[in-house]
A and B are shown apart, each in its own frame.
Chain A
Amino acid sequence: ADRSIPQSKQKYVPTSGSYPKGFLAGSSHAGVKASNTKYDDIALVVSEKPYAASAVFTRNLFKAAPVTVSKKFLDARKSDGFRAVVVNSGNANAVTGKVGLENAESMSRTTDELLGHSASEDARSLVMSTGVIGQRLPIDKIISAIPKAHAALGSTHDHWLQTAQAICTTDTFPKLVSRSFSLPSHPETTYSVAGFTKGAGMIHPNMA
């Protein structure tokens, strides 16, 4: 499908941003869906130093493998010492049994190794997936594309925007928001927060 952004939605896509120090974003093309021959579908966010992490997850009883695996990782590390989040779009890795769990862990392990962390450590990369339900991930394609996303990491607005685009499925535009701010006790320091999200259908989140 053509993913050009409709005229009416272009006003929602930022042309610049203020991004948090020490974070890098990158994306690559794996071709998770066979019909996707040109758009990036692997997204990677990395921190140069370990970060604290938390997440809220769907309360749907049929939790997808990356939900189960990421929750396990957060519990194991008590929300500390993480380095990355790796995401694939095009396939949700949901209702895929034990192989699905192994594939989600494999995405995390591959990312950890690229960042110089041993597979014997508790995982330092969270995993997310989105797309069709009930199909196994084409894991070889994904594992091959993660190093390309790593090689594409950067901190510019374009890096963030392209990474936001890589997690999209039926979305018509990437959703990226950032801002800088200060805190009352040391107003001379400038902080930043940036977020990107995807979603256009199957949307009624109830996360905890």
Chain B
Amino acid sequence: TLLGIVCTDVAIEPASLHEILTKSVGTSFNSISIDGDTSTNDTVALLANGAATPSGVKPLSVAQQSEDLAAFQTVLTELTQELAQLVVRDGEGATKFVTIKVQSDTDYMTAKRAAVSIATSAILKCALYGKDANWGRILCAIGYTAGIMDSPETPAIATSQTPVIPNQTSVSFVPADGSAELKLLIRGEPEQVDEVRAKEVLEFEDLEILVKLNDTGDASKKSKYESVFWTCDFSHEYVTINGDYRT
């Protein structure tokens, strides 16, 4: 279960708080996964008592967009992202902290669905624990997301006009030490991966998986949408903890 309490001494109109909180949660707590299980109790509360706001200064309000509101939203989002990342770092049995970035030109939800699918793939998470640069499992996870999006049986989520196109999909590992990314797949074609280098990259606790869904080969062209999601690996310890956890 995720619980969170965030307190600030900024004055904020009660009617505006929910929108402010929801905006930050979308790119923080709602962008993490440890084991893919959504709890019965997840709750994050935002409390604002205005104790530091000078008299005469109006409470922040979403009805009056202001620089102050934007600045507070940025601070809140950064703080909630930091908290959310700490949760992933403490994932039961986790040995890796994995950032998944998926870029798409279609829409944000296409990128997010692919990111979620990668983040919840048990077989990929086991590969990461084993320090295996298994891009095939990444592609597999992206691929069945695309399949679901195309399915007539699930029209509610069939919003994307363009499904994932295999020969425009590229996958890289971005090392935590800032060194050059390790390209695993370029526009659907597998790279000759240097296994020694791959092992080096996977020795770091932190790893970034970068997926481009509409890679045209033009390095100067930036994708329109990017979803960032955080997850961890699966280890033996996860099974031990949850096999032992008793009522």
Contact = CB atoms under 8 A, between A and B. Distances in A.
Contact of A177 (B13, B83, B247): B83
Contacts of A135: 247
A175 interface: yes
A147 interface: no
A126 interface: yes
A169 B45 contact: no
Nearest to A129: B41
A56 B22 contact: yes
Contact of A52 (B13, B29, B66, B90): B13
B87 A189 contact: no
B19 to A, nearest CB: 9
Interface stretch (B46-54, B164-172, B179-187, B193-201): B46-54
A175 B83 contact: yes
Contacts of A53: 14, 17, 45-48
A66 B41 contact: yes
Contact of A51 (B37, B49, B76, B88): B49
Contacts, number: 287
A173 B91 CA distance: 11
B189 interface: no
A206 B67 contact: no
A54 B17 CA distance: 6
A171 B54 CA distance: 39
Given A52-B14, A205-B32, A12 B89 contact: yes
A57 B241 contact: no
Interface in B1-22: 1-10, 12-15, 17-18, 20-22
A5 B48 CA distance: 31
B192 interface: no
A152 to B, nearest CB: 16
B245 A170 contact: yes
Contacts of B75: 179, 181, 193
B49 A207 contact: no
Nearest to A63: B40
A189 B53 contact: yes
Contact of A48 (B12, B41, B42, B51): B51
B247 A207 contact: no
Interface string B61-100: 0000011100110011011101110111111100000000
Given A23-B7, A53-B17, A193-B75, A205 B47 contact: no
A37 interface: no
Nearest to A66: B41
A38 interface: no
Nearest to A23: B7
Interface string A163-206: 00001011111010111010111100111111111111111111
Contacts of A193: 6-10, 75-76, 79
A78 B13 CA distance: 11
Interface of A: 9, 12, 19-23, 45, 47-60, 62-64, 66-67, 70, 78-80, 82, 85, 87, 92-95, 126, 128-135, 167, 169-173, 175, 177-179, 181, 183-186, 189-208
Task: Give 4 nearest A-B pairs by CB, closest first.
Answer: A22-B51, A195-B6, A54-B17, A203-B34
Given A56-B44, A87-B3, A186-B54, 19 more contacts: A20-B52, A21-B52, A22-B51, A53-B48, A66-B43, A128-B45, A130-B1, A169-B1, A175-B90, A181-B71, A185-B67, A193-B75, A196-B4, A199-B3, A201-B91, A203-B34, A203-B37, A204-B35, A207-B30
10 contacts: A52-B17, A63-B40, A87-B3, A87-B5, A179-B78, A186-B54, A190-B52, A193-B8, A193-B75, A201-B238
